[in-house]
Amino acid sequence: NYLVDVVTAASPDVVATASRRFHDVRHVVGVTGGYKPGSFGAQAFANYSEERDYISRTVGLTATGDFVDKQVSPSLGYSYTWDTIGRTGTSYDVFSRPFDIHEISAGSTFVLNPTTVLVLGGAVALESGDQSKPYRYVPIFEPGVSVPIGASVEEVNRNRLPAKPLEQLPLDRQRFSLAGRFITRLGGKATLRVEERLYRDTWAITASSTDARYLVDLGSRLRVWPHLRVHVQTGASFYNRIYGATLNSDGSATIPRFRTTDRELSPMFGITGGGGVRYALTDPGGKFQLALFSSADALFNYY
């Protein structure tokens, strides 16, 4: 497989107040192969992606099996990712940081009855390396100085200290997650799909993500559904909305060891609601199928 991902300053959640107009192109190539002659099989994969300031490489292997007439299908997988973090316009020989991830995952699919499927799984990811953003600067304030949520750039600059340190995150992180998916057919004309993911890491972030869809067949060709997703999490142990520092007599500043303005590391709550529709243009029972699909969602996040 080959993917071209074009990112511009118009992309969501990319542009910040200090960002200038930019664009970048990410190229991704990958290969996947598997062999399953009977009840047991294995699948191997490898991916490589490159952009102007980031190189990522991943290899992995997953073993699968079928038991009880394929009603229970467990899997066990391992992957290794080694990334190189750089700076745009700077050679990797001049500036680069390694970042490695070992991930172990296990799960199983259970066919509970002809119309109900349950999927359970978990994963452990061991990360090492400095994943701090090389472009993210953190405003520092004198102790006792406060700025309101949503303060303007001018107000922040007026109250902060002259020091402008880069973001600095801990050099290792262990992630743990449990996930489940429940799908059942109701009355032959509707399908309920519910997903839940629980997460915890050594940065003290605890999170829950719940996603639900109720798909209703209004006919042989028309299907509609509402969609709801709720995410809630605690913040990282070192996250502060305002970081304090003190100026020393020699003009230097004593600043916190770890610091970030990454809102994904803050306490947050998010809710997404919407729905979708699918209309089959061809006979749903035919070998060739063509359909129109549309969906719309509204998102609200509070950090």
Beta strand segments in the chain, E: 2-8, 23-35, 40-51, 54-65, 72-85, 97-113, 116-129, 140-141, 172-186, 190-201, 206-217, 222-233, 243-244, 246-247, 253-254, 268-280, 291-302
Q: pLDDT value at position 9?
A: 61
Statement: residue 277 has pLDDT above 60:
yes
Statement: residue 286 has pLDDT above 90:
no
Residue 253's pLDDT band (cuts 50, 70, 90): confident
Give the residue, 255 or 22, on which the prediction is more confident: 255
Lowest-confidence region among 101-110, 115-124, 142-151, 285-294: 142-151
- To the nearest whole number, what is the mean pLDDT of the chain? 92
Q: pLDDT value at position 20?
A: 64
Read off the pLDDT of each residue in 105-132 and give the average, rounded to a whole number: 97
Give the residue, 47 or 7, on which the prediction is more confident: 47
Statement: residue 11 has pLDDT above 90:
no
Residue 116 · residue 184 · CB < 8 Å: yes
Residue 14's pLDDT band (cuts 50, 70, 90): very low
Q: pLDDT value at position 19?
A: 57
Task: Tell me the per-residue pLDDT of 221-240, one tens digit each, with 9 for 90 and over.
Answer: 999 999 999 999 999 999 99
Read off the pLDDT of each residue in 55-70 and give the average, rounded to a whole number: 96
3-state SS assignment for residue 236: coil
Read off the pLDDT of each residue in 31-50 and give the average, rounded to a whole number: 96
Q: What is the DSSP string of 195-225?
A: EEEEEEETT--EEEEEEEEEEEESSSSEEEE
Residue closest to 18 by CA, chosen among 133, 134, 132, 136: 136
Q: How many residues does the chain have?
A: 303
Give the residue, 164 or 63, on which the prediction is more confident: 63
Lowest-confidence region among 7-21, 117-131, 193-207: 7-21
Q: pLDDT value at position 162?
A: 84
Determine phi and psi for 158, rounding to 5 degrees: -70, -30
d(CA 218, CA 296): 19
Statement: residue 15 has pLDDT above 50:
no
Residue closest to 84 by CA, chosen among 71, 93, 74: 93
Residue 286 · residue 303 · CB < 8 Å: no
